[in-house]
Amino acid sequence: MSSTVPDSELKARHRTMWASGDYPSMVETFLLPLGPRLVEACGIGPGMRVLDVAAGTGNAAIPAAQRGASVTASDLTPELLEAGSRDAEAQGLELEWLEADAENLPFADESFDVVMSSIGCMFAPHHQEVADELVRVCRPGGTIGLLSWTPEGMIGALFRTMGPFAPPPPPGAQPAPLWGSEQHVNELFGDRVTWTTLEREMLEITAFEHPRDYGEHFKARYGPTIAARANAQRNDREAEFDAALDAFCDEWNRGTPDAARFEKEYLLAVGSRA
């Protein structure tokens, strides 16, 4: 894929967005179960060559390394890789941490046994380019594993809530939660991957006392929410944004006003590369 100037500007904006706030603390607060779930579903074991694409802080890469795999964690945002690297070092684990674009991976064809991404590569704007790269770097008979938020689930709804306040998406960019649609995944990979697991599961979140604490957490720590609210502020709509986010938290609370509980649906897709 040849990088155009607008594309490099887009990547720089993405990098800045994910570096804003405090994504590592979000992982610690409620996202930790996802990485091990994907690693388990991919059947990762000792000696396997594993690539985690859009690895962030290594939520899947580190559990893969704990199982004895040889792991490369790649991400567009160096700040997230640095946080993951410190965590791995503290655990005495050795991984390769590499700044890389999911749409243009710097690896040779067929160089990994397992290529995976846990709520990571779904946020790259050009879905087909990402899917093509995942297939390219995976060896024939190897495993491709994806864990993605669904369009119908809570994060899909969050992006619909933030959409009217966010800057317009760049031309050709597709909505991230499409990766959580079975049909979209099948269209992206076609007959190049035979899916052995394609099922929806729930992540339950009980880390917040009050429902709206969830929204405050996102406003302080989550890059896409920070970017959408900053854009709302530029248009004198921050009060409207805050009200919409409060209403969203109330609507999706499955607990009580004093013991919030949320359920986030994701699609687990694991298959074998042709």
pLDDT digits (tens, 9 = 90+) for 224-242: 999 999 999 999 999 999 9
Domain contains 143: yes
Distance CA 55, CA 79 (A): 12
CA distance 8 to 31: 29
pLDDT by position in tens, the chain (length 274): 434 446 888 888 888 888 888 999 999 999 999 999 999 999 999 999 999 999 999 999 999 999 999 999 999 999 999 999 999 999 999 999 999 999 999 999 999 999 999 999 999 999 999 999 999 999 999 999 999 999 999 999 999 999 999 998 888 899 999 999 999 999 999 999 999 999 999 999 999 999 999 999 999 999 999 999 999 999 999 999 999 999 999 999 999 999 999 999 999 999 999 9
Report if residue 223 sits inside a domain: no
Structural domain contains residue 219:
no
In a domain, 165, yes or no: no
Residue 6 is predicted with a pLDDT of 66
Residue 175 CB contacts under 8 Å (≥ 6 apart), including other chains: 151, 159, 169
pTM for this prediction:
0.94
- The span from the CA of 138 to the CA of 17, in Å, is 29
Range of the domain at 148: 5-160+171-204+265-273
* Domain CATH for 125: 3.40.50.150
Residue 191, in any domain of the structure: yes
pLDDT at 8: 85
Q: Report the alpha-carbon distance of residue 128 to residue 239 in Å, rounded.
A: 37
Q: What per-residue confidence (pLDDT) applies to 73?
A: 98
The CA R_g of the chain, rounded to the nearest whole Å, is 18
Whether 136 is in a domain gets the answer: yes
Residues 78-112 pLDDT 10s: 999 999 999 999 999 999 999 999 999 999 999 99
DSSP state of 107: S
Evaluate whether residue 184 is within a structural domain: yes
**φ, ψ of residue 66 in degrees (nearest 5):** -60, -25
Please report, to the nearest 10 degrees, the dihedral formed by the alpha carbons of residues 123, 218, 41, 135 taken in order: 10
Tally of structural domains, the chain: 1
Torsion angle, CA of 207/213/217/219, rounded to 10 degrees?
160
Distance CA 112, CA 115 (A): 7
> Is 233 contained in some domain?
no
